[in-house]
Amino acid sequence: MPKTVVVGLSGGVDSSVAAVLLKEQGYNVIGLFMRNWDSTTNNDVLGNPEVDDEICSQEVDYQDAEKVANKIGIPLHRVDFIEEYWENVFTYFLDEYKKGRTPNPDILCNKYIKFDAFLEYAKKFKADYIAMGHYAKTSIIDGKPTLFRGVDDNKDQTYFLSQLSEFQLSKTLFPVGHLTKKEVRDLAHKYDLSTKDKKDSTGICFIGERDFDKFLNNYLPSKKGNMVTEDGKIISTHNGLMYYTIGQRKGLGIGGSNDYSGEPWFVIGKDLSKNDLVIGQGFHHPTLYSDSCLVEDVNLINHDVFDNEFIFTAKFRYRQPDTKVTVMHVGDNLLITFTEDVRAVTPGQAAVIYQGERCLGGGFIKEVYKNKEIRKY
């Protein structure tokens, strides 16, 4: 009797091809379309003018998923995880912004929704596994499920999967992890799927491609303040600290000045007590660089203890090149020390640890240091 797999069918090309491949491999495949955000409830009450567009987008995605399911001959169900998303992901997202940090809600969406609430719901179908269209791979090493980077370096999504547990990995299949994006597109054309030329989705999952500042202002009213240099000189004003992240250049709106060089300005820090956005000139401004960080909310995959003499690598942002690091436990947290200074390591972002192609998990950056001193901002 074939094993049953419930695949997250999002209406995109990656999950569409994942479903086809599972069907070809002989699984009993069931499609499940998730709705994690209620535009009417969560936005309309706030007068968001883009609600109708968002509802339309969600419906288009469902219709695309339905076309794929019909094409390959699998059933498709719909499920709402709106309450779970609000409680486990969105409230965290807002709380982090209130603290002046830069959160990554997609990581928690994977941890609590796509690989937790979804996995629990799949029990209704007596599923042996769930499957997603993520670019990642799993393997059993020493009897334990292990997470590896996807073959396509440009699309690898292990950074966003770093908070998954071994149990979640043991129940998950990643059918496209061994493929490049081009190969996925080619397969979608081979099977003539309706999503074969559909544009990849971008942006945070519940915001999509809408104006981020406008969306965030619905939930956290902005508080304008001053843009200042490190020595406190006011250069301009900002629209709200939550709209800026460390290392940012675009959107500062600072023109030329006879008092300063022509080098571009960057965000180098935030002073929450004064509501000041601290800026400095030059991509390589020294305040942007650090040599270590403390990581909290740690999730380790197949690794209970780190030997701090062993060199691992880490990513502190998605698509950032790997950095050589040493890792040491400090209570429940991890102290990650860089072999070379790294630019724009930012509290609230994820630090994800690797051993070659193997993802060992990670956590969220709590504090950033330079020469053993906490970065002031």
Q: Does residue 158 sit in the same domain as residue 203?
A: yes
Domain boundary among 236, 260, 281: 281
Q: What is the DSSP letter of 151?
A: S
Q: How far apart are CA 57 and CA 107, in angstroms?
A: 22
Single pTM value for the model: 0.90
- 203 within 8 A of 318, measured Cβ to Cβ: no
Q: Does residue 232 sit in the same domain as residue 370?
A: no
**Which stretch of 160-164, 177-181, 240-244, 334-338 has the lowest confidence by average pLDDT?**
240-244
Q: Does residue 208 sit in the same domain as residue 234?
A: no
Q: Does residue 15 sit in the same domain as residue 145?
A: yes
Domain boundary among 192, 213, 234: 213
Say if residue 135 is exposed, middle or buried (CB neighbours under 10 Å; 0-12, 13-18, 19+).
Answer: buried
pLDDT digits (tens, 9 = 90+) for 40-71: 555 443 444 444 455 567 888 999 999 999 99
Quick one: pLDDT band at residue 311, thresholds 50, 70, 90?
confident
CATH of the domain at 172: 3.40.50.620
What are the phi and psi torsion angles at 6 (to 5°)?
-100, 115
Q: What is the pLDDT of residue 205?
A: 62
Q: Does residue 66 sit in the same domain as residue 131?
A: yes
H or E segment to which residue 28 belongs: strand 28-35
pLDDT digits (tens, 9 = 90+) for 76-102: 999 999 999 999 999 998 999 888 888
Q: What is the pLDDT of residue 203?
A: 60
Q: Catalytic: which of 56, 205, 293, 359? A: 205
Q: Does residue 111 sit in the same domain as residue 28?
A: yes
Q: What is the pLDDT of residue 52?
A: 45
Q: What is the DSSP string of 72-87?
A: HT--EEEEE-HHHHII
- 81 within 8 A of 35, measured Cβ to Cβ: yes
More reliable by pLDDT, 364 or 221: 364
CB atoms within 10 A of CB 31: 24
Catalytic, 56? Answer no
CATH of the domain at 293: 2.40.30.10
How many domains would you assign to the chain? 3
Region 327-333: mean pLDDT is: 94
Residue 153 has pLDDT above 80, yes or no: yes
CB atoms within 10 A of CB 63: 13
Q: Does residue 155 sit in the same domain as residue 31?
A: yes
Region 116-139: mean pLDDT is: 97
- 325 within 8 A of 336, measured Cβ to Cβ: yes
Q: How far apart are CA 365 and CA 102, in angstroms?
A: 10
Q: Does residue 61 sit in the same domain as residue 194?
A: yes
Q: What is the pLDDT of residue 165?
A: 96
Q: What is the pLDDT of residue 48?
A: 47
Task: Give me the chain's average pLDDT, please.
Answer: 90
Q: Catalytic: which of 56, 109, 293, 359? A: 109
Q: Does residue 90 sit in the same domain as residue 15?
A: yes
Q: Does residue 302 sit in the same domain as residue 366?
A: yes
Residue with token string 């990643």: 174
Domain boundary among 184, 213, 242: 213
pLDDT digits (tens, 9 = 90+) for 160-194: 999 999 999 999 999 999 999 999 999 999 999 99
Q: Does residue 125 sit in the same domain as residue 244?
A: no
Residue 326 has pLDDT above 70, yes or no: yes
Closest CA to 199 of 60, 79, 8: 60
Q: What is the pLDDT of residue 13?
A: 97
Q: What is the pLDDT of residue 204?
A: 62
Q: Does residue 8 sit in the same domain as residue 72?
A: yes
Residue 26 has pLDDT above 80, yes or no: yes
Q: What is the β-pairing status of strands 144-149 and 358-370?
A: antiparallel
Residue 107 has pLDDT above 70, yes or no: yes
Domain extent, residue 238, equals 222-281
